[in-house]
């Protein structure tokens, strides 16, 4: 079972915040009042070595104290609140778990996703409260696919609402226009032969690859209003809109814009050779 981290973070932030606030309103004034009364009883409590100081120290042991849960809430709430704001509304890190975006993104890449470029959304419920811009063809986008409501996917935006997307003989067409593809190299890999090339979509160039040994599946589809057609750059090794359908605008998470680290596994050494922007 996958954990719903956004929901857990919301619960932690509001839980610790409410506990801290309740303590400030309900219990902290009483503790302060008891302390003030003790200070008045022993006027020289802060003068070391005096009888008042000794009696004050002894009597202070009986004063009501801040509970452990309140202490932890007060300590963790500011940190959790900062993480919540950054992660929910500004930028969020993700790890690439599969090869569906090779050669643009490799397994083990750690990327940053802009959470506000497509609009400000409430965490967990995903309701957009403020619109900034809309996805463009060629954007590398993180989203929730229609068949997995709590699993993050990353693919490239191919079709916008109303577009007609076609795939024939492993060539992509949008609204009847072929998407430029310039072959660069053919790479043998066991029983497969991958053709790598440079494609241009939405005025942006990016690398993609196809498996010359695997037959393609031709199709033509019209993108529904409020939806986007997504495909991986590793055309023949990608579960995308060709398999599970179009992505609703409501399920958009953000735009991937940078690789900040590459880490293959727990027992390998992190690398920063791939640091840079995502095309």
Decide: residue 267, CB within 10 A, 0-12 exposed, 13-18 middle, 19+ buried.
exposed
Alpha-helix runs per DSSP H in the chain: 5-22, 28-41, 51-60, 68-85, 241-244
> Residues 73, 88, 115, 155: which is the catalytic one?
155
Is residue 5 within 8 A of residue 65, CB to CB? The reply is no
> Residues 73, 100, 199, 238: which is the catalytic one?
100
Q: What's the rounded Cα separation, in Å, for the pair 15 and 18?
A: 5
Q: What's the rounded Cα separation, in Å, for the pair 18 and 77?
A: 9
Phi, psi of 33 (to 5 degrees): -65, -45
**Other residues' Cβ atoms within 10 Å of the Cβ of residue 238:** 20
Sequence-distant (6+) residues with CB within 8 A of 139 are 156, 157, 202, 255
Q: Is 241 a catalytic residue?
A: no
Measured in whole angstroms, how far is the alpha carbon of residue 159 from the centre of its chain?
23
Q: What's the rounded Cα separation, in Å, for the pair 37 and 73?
A: 27
Q: Is 100 a catalytic residue?
A: yes
- Catalytic (active-site) positions: 100, 155
């Amino acid at each position: 079972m996958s954990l719903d981290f956004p929901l857990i973070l919301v619960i932690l932030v509001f839980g610790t915040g409410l506990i801290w606030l309740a303590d400030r309103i309900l219990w902290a004034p009483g503790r302060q009042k008891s302390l003030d009364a003790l200070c008045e009883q022993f006027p020289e409590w802060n003068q070391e070595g005096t009888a008042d100081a000794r009696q004050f120290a002894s009597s202070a042991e009986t004063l009501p104290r801040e509970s452990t849960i309140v202490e932890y809430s007060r300590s963790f709430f500011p940190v959790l609140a900062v993480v919540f704001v950054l992660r929910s509304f500004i930028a969020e890190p993700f790890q690439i778990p599969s090869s569906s975006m090779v050669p643009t993104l490799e397994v083990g890449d750690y990327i940053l996703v802009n959470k506000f470029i497509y609009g400000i959304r409430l965490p967990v419920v995903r309701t957009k409260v403020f619109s900034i811009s809309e996805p463009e063809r060629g954007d590398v986008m993180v989203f929730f696919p229609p068949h997995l409501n709590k699993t993050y996917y990353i693919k490239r935006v191919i079709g916008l609402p109303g577009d007609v997307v076609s795939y024939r003989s492993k060539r992509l067409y949008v609204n009847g226009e072929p998407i430029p593809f310039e072959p660069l190299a053919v790479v043998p890999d066991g029983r497969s032969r991958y053709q790598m090339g440079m494609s241009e979509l939405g005025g942006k160039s990016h690398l993609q690859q196809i498996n010359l040994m695997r037959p393609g599946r031709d199709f033509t589809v019209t993108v529904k209003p409020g939806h986007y057609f997504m495909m991986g750059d590793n055309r023949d090794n990608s579960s995308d809109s060709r398999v599970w359908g179009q992505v609703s605008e409501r399920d958009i998470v953000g735009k991937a814009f940078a690789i900040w680290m590459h880490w293959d596994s727990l027992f390998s050494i992190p690398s920063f050779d791939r640091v840079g922007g995502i095309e």
